[in-house]
Structure 1
């Protein structure tokens, strides 16, 4: 029999927790002597640049080798950020001015921003109750000017890749997987980022693993790897990479101008040690996520969770709760904060295309380049063009799951959510 619930902390009751939960930085909260020691070795070797120095230690090479081994891909490339990785991936595919790229309506600004920085224009597709790209929405936004599709598994929940890839293959459109928030996620047993033509990853501060900043590109295609490596390094393919991967580009015909997105050895060193902790991080988050979800299902039969096309592939970094209305979600978050339990919606509760610089197609270039491309089907954004995203984002509340949570923490989080749900009559 349920005990009588206490008064909400918001109304003067005792909070479910006496102190806040661990900060939502999975990789950072497990940083320790291992990362510091490897970074120190790089510094003492006086060789922080990956391709040459007094005594290069090959830290970035080591990171790439671990990624290739664990993700089951033949090519990986460390870069400076996931935004850089997206630009590099787009350029590897030859995308630029006059091209359109499909992006989900729910993602961080960096995803469509990278498309614009690659001189292409984002076209937005709606989402489903996973808050990821809805495969059935793709056909509505595909035309012969669309040259790529970017999928984004939001907060550890995999995208429904089989139907997405089926549509992409039907139209001959390559797929880039933006796995920035979701390293370790899988879909039907395959790591996210390895199902499309290219996958990109982030090692920024609040990602699953971190070096503060950093990113990576992976692919199974030798030519795409060669083009990515060239674009990330001023248009060069270094002798070390040619030898390592058996590349034989023709510099007279294959070369093109690139940018500088090279990962440093210090970043690589930190990430090698972070990568050693990935399996443990994922296991801890998955275990806590499942326990919390099970406890809430038992206590709140009417609760609605974010849907998933593959629950086994969800890394458990966040528990998504779908509230009846945006107003209810607002009250829920306010009450949870008073209980010392973090709960939040994404991106101000709005689709990414509503960010002013995107919505009004403003860039640093004159004449709104690249939005000024002479498209046969001009790009126009309207507030309601992705109605499912408009409806779902402000109603989907996320509770972060730290790898440091104890069973006591989970009990207190459960009690807090149950108290708030029942007091606000949400279930």
Structure 2
């Protein structure tokens, strides 16, 4: 790996002794799928600061380092030999979080066995009990992970992970991999390879990569053929490196993408209205069970979730301005010179970019649905990154505070290029 593999470069620690000063940089791509630690000397730090393709949270002005609050800690023995070495942060690849990411990227589905008789003798099944891995949700107010099922008439949740009492609990589930995926179960006609446990193909099978997952068989559901698996007990506790600036960046991006998804849902509804087509919302049928708990680890960004009324106002301002100015470019210039914040302009630009491509409602609907799909996938991957940290912090009873922090003061995480902070609320059982 090298610097070109990363997008974010944040100053994490400064190591100092009488003879040595070293700067620890935390590196990540935009979705935190690949992360690394890079220990550099001052000369190399100056070179990195000049790289335009890296998003950084520090500057060097007139020979002075400007950055957010960073810990200065005593250098460890042998630090000289580690300087200018880039060390990849390994991530667990056999966990629940890894499966959820893989499934979201490859059109895997979660199967509600109460709706579809997955263990029956029939190979061709029809039913509403399918949900994409993209429909997995990570609660901000509880420690729950769940999948949302939507049929023509109802919406309900299927719990995957919950906090019950003081214990994190995994709920088994069936899932399907579209037939033909190279990483799926038994391939057509590969009986010899199936018995060879030293075969690379066998090692790559889902049931061998994810502990607690077994291959059930192959079924055709709603005209699509799937390899079916059962996740009985998956790994929730992993070795994850918790870096404050990464958490702060991820929580900020989660707010931004949640706002963008809400704006796109509003935009889609307006285009349905323009077509005089009713967009019916299925009724909630998920019951009234609550998994709210006194315990848990929760992150709250200082960034703002926009209300529906605010999104409506942004949209109305865009439409009014387009009618007044006539061109999208003129509207952009006008909005940039108005009193909108950077986050508000993000939503305004989203609307403007859609209208720049078309004004026909059917085309706008296609564009908006496509954009919503892409943002939902990014948001799920970011939310999974944060959820993995929350679950592991709860298990290890991590304080998130430094030794010199006031134990009574709120726990705040800073860092990253975002002009924001993250408030941590953590309460552990005995």
TM interval, shorter chain, is: under 0.3
Higher RCO, 1 vs 2 (CA within 8 Å, ≥6 residues apart): 1
Bigger-Rg structure (1/2): 2
